[in-house]
Structure 1
Amino acid sequence: MTSYFSDYADLCFEVFGDRVKHWITFSDPRAHAHAWHSYRKKWRSKQQGLVGISLNCDWGEPVDISNPKDVEAAERYLQFCLGWFANPIYAGDYPEVMKDQIGRKSAEQGLDMSRLPVFSLQEKSYIKGTSDFLGLGHFTTRYITERNYPSRQGPSYQNDRDLVELVDPNWPDLGSNWLYSVPWGFRRLLNFAQTQYGDPPIYVTENGASQKEHCTQLCDEWRIHYLKGYINEMLKEPLLSHMHMVSEIVVPTVCTLCTLIAALLLMLLLKSQS
């Protein structure tokens, strides 16, 4: 299937590449690396475009930030969600916590090898670095705590994580039973992706609120509130780099100018007195 997808991507690059300069291979990943390499080899020099991927993830906040078990569980939540696909692209392999957790669970289930596939060295090298930008979809947040009771499920993604997802009853609920408006989680996820994967260019590819109720007229105040909250949190992100610029460039420049002005005034003062 990966070679078939690469052929399909090649056709798209050939037909639309003179106009399309930003490509997203997948919203649910499969043969991403093949398409990225195909564009780099055949089309990038002529078309000067970018190829990335779109990954969806909710934010996981520890129930108790002073409890190391909850903090670790929240980290597992994020690595099993975003890291599952982003880590191979940016680091060349699955997150260590996924390999450890699934390897241990597989052994407990009597398996001779982990249910998580193992990348060969060639595959790691081929996949790593195959993204010109990170597309990020985000909708809501969950509180995360460690699961301290045995799971009744068999082998599964949910069981491998060893955690429990909770919601705050005070969070505004929207049209879907899984969706709550938690804008601050969006900024924390952006910060996580920024620091975890080496500050890549990030495009927000998915966000929004479902229909809350049926009505004959325009009645989506909750959607306006949701979007406004999330956009405001997203707009806080550039302030980090802006403040970094202020502290590293503007402040030293102003200090230097102040020193020069003070020296000039002192020279004029001494000259007038003499």
Structure 2
Amino acid sequence: MTSYFRDYADLCFEAFGDRVKHWITFSDPRAHAQAWHSYNRTWRSKQQGLVGISLNCDWGEPVDMSNPKDVEAAERYLQFCLGWFANPIYAGDYPQVMKDQIGRKSKEQGLDMSRLPVFSLQEKSYIKGTSDFLGLGHFTTRYITERNYPSRQGPSYQNDRDLIELVDPNWPDLGSKWLYSVPWGFRRLLNFAKTQYGSPPIYVTENGASQKLHCTQLCDEWRIQYLKGYINEMLKEPLLSHMQMVTEIVVPTVCTLCVLIAAVLLTLLLRRQS
């Protein structure tokens, strides 16, 4: 299937690449790397475009920040969600916590090998670095705590994580049962992605609120508030870069200029006195 998808992507690059300069291979991916390599090898020099991927993830906040178990559970939540596909692209392999967790679970189930596939060295090298930007979808947040009792269900993605998801009853609920408005979680997820994957360019590809009430008129004040809150949190993000730029570039430059000006003034003063 991956080669079929590559052929389809090549057809799109050939037909639309003179006008389309930003490509997203998948929203929640599979055969991404072949399409990226094909563009990089055949089309990039002619079309000067970018190829990325879109991954969806909610933020996981530890219930108790002072409890290492909750902090570890929240980390697992994020790595099983965003890291599952982002880590191979940016680091060449699945997150270590996924490999450890699923390997242990597989052994407990009597399996000789982990249920999580193993990348060969060639596959790691082929997948790593195959994204010019990170598309990020985000909608809501969950509080996360460790699950300290065995699951009665069989092997699954949910059970492999060994965690419990909770919500704050004070969070505004929206049109879907799973969706709560928690704007601060968005900024934390953006910071996580920036730190975890080496500050890649990030495009927010999905965000919004479902319809809360059935009505024939405009009655979506909750959607306005949701979008306003999340956009405001997103707009705070560049301030970190600007502050870093001020710290690393502007401040040293100003200090250097001050020293040079002081040296020139001192030289002029000494000449006048002599």
TM range (shorter): over 0.9
Question: Secondary structure in 2 aligned to 1:185?
Answer: helix
CA shift at 1:270, angstroms? 6.6
**Alpha-carbon deviations, 1:196-232, whole Å to 9, x = none?**
0111111000000000111121111111111111111
Match of 2:12 in 1: 12
> Post-superposition shift, 1:254?
2.3
**Deviations along 1:163-213, whole A, 9 cap, x unmatched?**
000000111110000000111100000010001011111100000000011
In 1, Cα distance between equivalents of 2:42 and 2:255? 50
Q: Quote how far apart the aligned CAs of 1:62 are.
A: 0.4
Q: Deviations over 1:46-83 (max 9, x none)?
A: 11111000000000000000100000000000000000
> 1:4-153, aligned counterparts within 5 Å?
4-153=4-153
Post-superposition offset of 1:115? 0.6
Aligned to 1:23, the other structure's residue is in SS state strand
How many angstroms apart in 2 are the aligned matches of 1:34 and 1:12?
Answer: 14
Residue aligned with 2:19, SS: coil
The change in CA–CA distance for 1:126 and 1:271 in structure 2 (over 3 A counts) is closer
TM-score, normalisation: structure 1: 0.96
For residues 168 and 54 of structure 2, what CA distance do their matches in structure 1 show? Answer: 28
Q: Cα deviation per residue 1:222-260 (whole Å; 9 max; x = unaligned)?
A: 111111111111111111110011111211222233344
Q: Within 1, Cα distance between the matches of 2:260 and 2:87?
A: 49
Which whole-Å deviations, capped at 9, do the CAs of 1:109-149 have from their partners, x for residues lacking one?
A: 11111111111111111111110100000000000000011
- TM-score normalized with structure 2 length: 0.96
Tell me how far apart the structure 2 counterparts of residues 65 and 133 of structure 1 sit (CA, whole Å). Answer: 31
The DSSP-based 3-state class of the residue aligned with 2:260 is helix
Q: CA–CA distance in 2 between the matches of 1:76 and 1:103?
A: 14
Shift of 1:3: 0.8
3-state SS in 2 of match to 1:165: strand
CA distance in 2 between partners of 1:272 and 1:11 (Å): 76
Closer/same/farther in 2, CA of residues 269 and 71 from structure 1, 3 Å limit? same
Q: How many angstroms apart in 1 are the aligned matches of 2:265 and 2:224? A: 56
Partners of 2:193 and 2:3 lie apart in 1 by 29
CA shift at 1:265, angstroms? 5.3
Secondary structure of the residue aligned to 2:164 is strand
Change (3 A) 1:41 1:263: closer
SS at match of 1:75: helix
- 1:75-103 CA deviation, whole Å, 9 max, x = no partner? 00000000000000111110010001001
Q: Whole-Å Cα distance in 1 between the matches of residues 114 and 152 of structure 2?
A: 20
| Alpha-carbon separation, structure 2, partners of 1:36 and 1:104 | 33
Distance 2:264 2:2 in 1: 69
User: Structure 1, unaligned stretches of length 5 or more?
Assistant: none
